[in-house]
Structures are given as C-alpha cells and as structure tokens.
Amino acid sequence: MNTILIIDDEAKIRSLLSRIISLEGFEVFEASNLKSGLKKLETSEIDIVICDVKLPDGNGVEFSRTVKEKFATVEIILLTAFGNIPDGVLAIKNGAFDYITKGDDNTRILPLVYKAAEKVALNKRVLQLEKQLDTKQSFDSIIGKSDSFSAAISSAQKVAVTDATVLLTGETGTGKEVFAQAIHHASKRNKKNFIAINCSAFGKDLLENELFGHKAGAFTGALKDSKGIFEEANQGTVFLDEIGEMPLDLQAKLLRVLESGEFLKVGDSKPTKTDVRIIAATNRDLETEIEKGNFREDLYYRINIFQIKLPSLRERIADIELLVKFFLKSFSLKIGKNITSISPDYLKALKNHLWKGNIRELRNVIERSVILTDSPEIGIESLPIDISVYSSDKDSAQTKIMSAFSMASAEKMQIQKVLNHTKGNKAEAARLLEIGIATLYRKVEEYKISYKIFPF
C-alpha cells in the first residue's frame, strides 16, 4: 500500500482529496502547511506528496526541491488555483512529478497518483540496486578475517582516501581486482569511471590503442578519432592488471602519464591531458624483471608508491571456511539447490590443499561440488581426486602432500579413484587394480586414504 501526504491549507479540499484517494486503497496523511508536512515526511514512510503551491508558510514549487533533496524516492504532485507556465516549468525542474490546476484537472488526479506510485516503485528498486552495487564493490564485501588478510585490507583502506598510486602484488587469483575496485569505491573518485585492463591480454599495438586511443587515419581502418582508457577514465581510476607484461615502449608512455598527466594518441602529435589514479597489479617480482631488462626501473618507483601484498590462500587458511560458505550459498542459489551444510571431511580436504590458483581455484571447486551434490550436505565425494585424497591431517608425516610426479602419489590417486568407482567395495577394487585384497588394505592404511562407505 502506497502512502500519500496531502498538504493544503484548505480543510475542505484536504478532506475531499483524502476521501477520494482513500477509496482507491491508499493510506492518506494530511498537513495544513509546509512545516507540518515536512515533519510528517521525516516521521512517516511517505511515497507521494500532493501539495498546494500557495501555502501560508511557503511556496510548494520551492518545497518540491527540498523534498527531492531529502527524500529521493518521493514523488510530488503540485496543485494550484491559478496555473501558469513559468511555475509549471520551475516545478518540473525542481523535481515535481506533475503540476496541475485545481478544478480544471480534477479528473487527472487519480491517474497521476497511480503513475506516481509506479515511479516510486521504480525509484525504490533503483536505490536498492545501487546499494547492492555499493556493497559489492566496498571493503565490507571482501571476505576474510585472518591476520594477514586483515592487514592488507587495513592498508588498502588507508590509501584509498588519498590519490596515491597503488601497486597490488601477490599470486594469481588472490583478488587483486576486487581490492582495486574497493579502493576506487572508497576514494573521492568513486563517482567517475573505474576501468580495468589486463596488460597480458593484448599484443603491443592493440594494447597501445586500448590505453591511449588513436586519431582518424592513424592506421588502416581508423576512420574516426577513438578514445582510449586513459581518456575515458578521466577523473576516475585505471586498473592495470599484470603490468609486468607491458612492453617496454608502452611503459615509457605510461611513465609520461604518471609524471605529467598527458599522453599521445596513436597518430597524434598533440598531447591529451588526463587526470587518473592508477592502480597496478602483478604476480611477478618486478625487481627481478628490472634486472632482466624487462621492466623500467623509473616506472617501478613511480607505481610502487604504496605497495600492498595480498596473501595467498595458503597463508590464510582461517578464511577458507568463510569463503566456502559464501560460494556455497551463492552457487546453490544460482543453480537452484538447497545445500545447507558442509561435511567436516570436505572442509578438512580444502584446508589441506595447496591452492595454487588461490580464491579463483577455490571458487571453481565449490561450483563443481554444488553441481555434483544432490543432498543437503556437500561432501568429500564431490571434490576432484587431487583434492579429496589429501583429506587427512596434513601435519602427519605419512600424510604430507606428495609430489604430483612421484610413483607413490600416482598409486595413491589411482587407488582412491578405483575405490570411489566401486563405492568403497574393497574386493571389487582389488580385482580392478589386479592386486590382492591384503595388499589393498595395507595400501589404504599406508596412504591414509579416505573414502565414503556406501550401502550395498
């Protein structure tokens, strides 16, 4: 039910409008002046205001601007005894939904109320989506409470409010772009563009064009001027992922952007000015790349004003359960399954895994598990074989993760695979493996192989 506030100093008109609108199922409030109307707006959930233009304590046209500034989703319909075009134009400019004349436009009131109610619903939906987007990009949306990860978040929050160039380092899949978005969102540039580009995804010429744009005629097919990322992101933020992959001559052009705030488009002789904040990221050791001649030392010192190292998933084991619960809920909802719990063995296996692909790898594993699971509990049998075989205590000498290339590792994985295939039937597994049942029992004990017992 939409709520409507009628502001008019004539009691008969308020009463008449209130009765007409109430019969349509709306909840109606009344006020005799702007002061009491504003108080009602502050204390009640009002959707639509129907307000007279001429009131004892002010003008409804000016009041409409105040309401829109304070209550963005509220829609205002203005009523006047003597309509005139300038007032109508100003009312719409101030944010009024419509401006109608008393008496002449009485038949329009109810249709306008319904249209305004539709607009209110749209306003609320947009506001809700904006809040969801803000949450998604903010530091609050980043999952992790381990000491190493909390330290990285704290550093990022401190630098976000400045304009300093930031260098994010760490292994692939540690969430560098998520951090870059959160830094941008917490900065004074958050109303402007955030544009990300992976420097390893393009060849030299295409990357140069993407970054700096080109002038018409710069090359075959360049029929008109084209803006690059640095121009599109003016007053915003540019995120340069895998900056260690950037060719040396483009590094020189980037250095010029950092030093002077200007660059040359492809085929142009006149510099273009830009004001961007740069956040760079790499999984390479840039100091080693400098020694090899692959990265400019002067550029390194320009982008390394404030470095934040993102810990690998192996360094934040305490966060794995939080991440698993988040991904499990997300994928269960997406796929339409009701998976509400996690088996202890499943969680132990994840905590014992090396996670070379970090959060990206974990996310993929959880998605796979959700697809394979048909029960309310997600279990170890839904894990890939290279993860599930290492589910026991990783601190035990017999159960330390073996090299993927060793004979023992291959043997262990094969036994696990066959046991999974036979659903725990050791006799059948021994037959398929072409070994004795006693040998199989000994191997299972030696390798501490864990598997699920299925009923027969």
Alpha-carbon distances, residue 340 vs 122, 328, 388 (angstroms): 33, 8, 20
Binning pLDDT at 50, 70 and 90, where does residue 417 land? Answer: confident
pLDDT digits (tens, 9 = 90+) for 272-305: 999 999 999 999 999 999 999 999 999 999 999 9
Q: Give the residue with greater pLDDT, 238 vs 62.
A: 238
Q: Give the residue with greater pLDDT, 51 vs 393.
A: 51
Residue 222's pLDDT is 82
Tokens of 120: 């209110």
> At a CB cut-off of 8 Å and minimum separation 6, what does 385 contact?
413, 416, 417, 420
- How many CA atoms lie less than 13 Å away from 167 in the CB half-sphere? 17
Residue 379 has pLDDT above 60, yes or no: yes
Q: In angstroms, rounded to a whole number, what is the distance separating the alpha carbons of residues 211 and 199?
A: 10
Residue 404's pLDDT is 46
Q: In angstroms, rounded to a whole number, what is the distance separating the alpha carbons of residues 194 and 234?
A: 10
pLDDT digits (tens, 9 = 90+) for 216-269: 888 888 888 899 999 999 999 999 999 999 999 999 999 999 999 999 999 998
First to last CA, the chain: 58
pLDDT digits (tens, 9 = 90+) for 309-346: 999 999 999 999 999 999 999 999 888 889 999 999 99
Q: In angstroms, rounded to a whole number, what is the distance separating the alpha carbons of residues 148 and 140?
A: 17
pLDDT digits (tens, 9 = 90+) for 70-90: 998 999 998 887 766 676 777
Say what the pTM is: 0.61
Tokens of 40: 């009602």
Q: In angstroms, rounded to a whole number, what is the distance separating the alpha carbons of residues 398 and 14?
A: 84
Residue 136's pLDDT is 57
Q: In angstroms, rounded to a whole number, what is the distance separating the alpha carbons of residues 80 and 256?
A: 60
Residue 388's pLDDT is 67
Tokens of 209: 């064009």
Residue 391 has pLDDT above 70, yes or no: no
Q: In angstroms, rounded to a whole number, what is the distance separating the alpha carbons of residues 102 and 9?
A: 14
Q: In angstroms, rounded to a whole number, what is the distance separating the alpha carbons of residues 319 and 152?
A: 14
343-369: string of b/e by CB count within 10 Å (b at 16+)?
Answer: bebbbbbbbbbebebbbebbbebbbeb
What value does the mean pLDDT of the chain take? 87
- 240: phi then psi, degrees, rounded to nearest 5: -100, 95
Residue 405 has pLDDT above 60, yes or no: no
Task: Please name which of 37, 53, 44 lies closest in space to residue 3, comparing C-alpha atoms.
Answer: 44
Q: In angstroms, rounded to a whole number, what is the distance separating the alpha carbons of residues 307 and 396?
A: 37
Tokens of 123: 């306003």
pLDDT digits (tens, 9 = 90+) for 351-363: 988 898 999 999 9
Residue 403 has pLDDT above 70, yes or no: no
SS (H, E, C) the chain: CCEEEEECCCHHHHHHHHHHHHCCCCEEEEECCHHHHHHHHHHCCCCEEEEECEECCEEHHHHHHHHHHHCCCCEEEEEECCCCHHHHHHHHHCCCCEEEECCCCHHHHHHHHHHHHHHHHHHHHHHHHHHHHHHHHCHHHCCCCCHHHHHHHHHHHHHHCCCCCEEEECCCCCCHHHHHHHHHHCCCCCCCCEEEEECCCCCHHHHHHHHHCECCCCCCCCCCCECCHHHHCCCCEEEEECHHHCCHHHHHHHHHHHHHCEECCECCCCCEECCCEEEEEECCCHHHHHHCCCCCHHHHHHHCCEEEECCCHHHCHHHHHHHHHHHHHHHHHHHCCCCCEECHHHHHHHHHCCCCCHHHHHHHHHHHHHHHCCCCEECHHHCCHHHHCCCCCCCCHHHCCCCCCCHHHHHHHHHHHHHHHCCCCHHHHHHHHCCCHHHHHHHHHHHCCCCCCCCC
Task: Please name which of 150, 220, 161, 158 lies closest in space to residue 186, comparing C-alpha atoms.
Answer: 161
Neighbours of 438 (CB within 10 A): 9
Q: In angstroms, rounded to a whole number, what is the distance separating the alpha carbons of residues 449 and 54?
A: 84
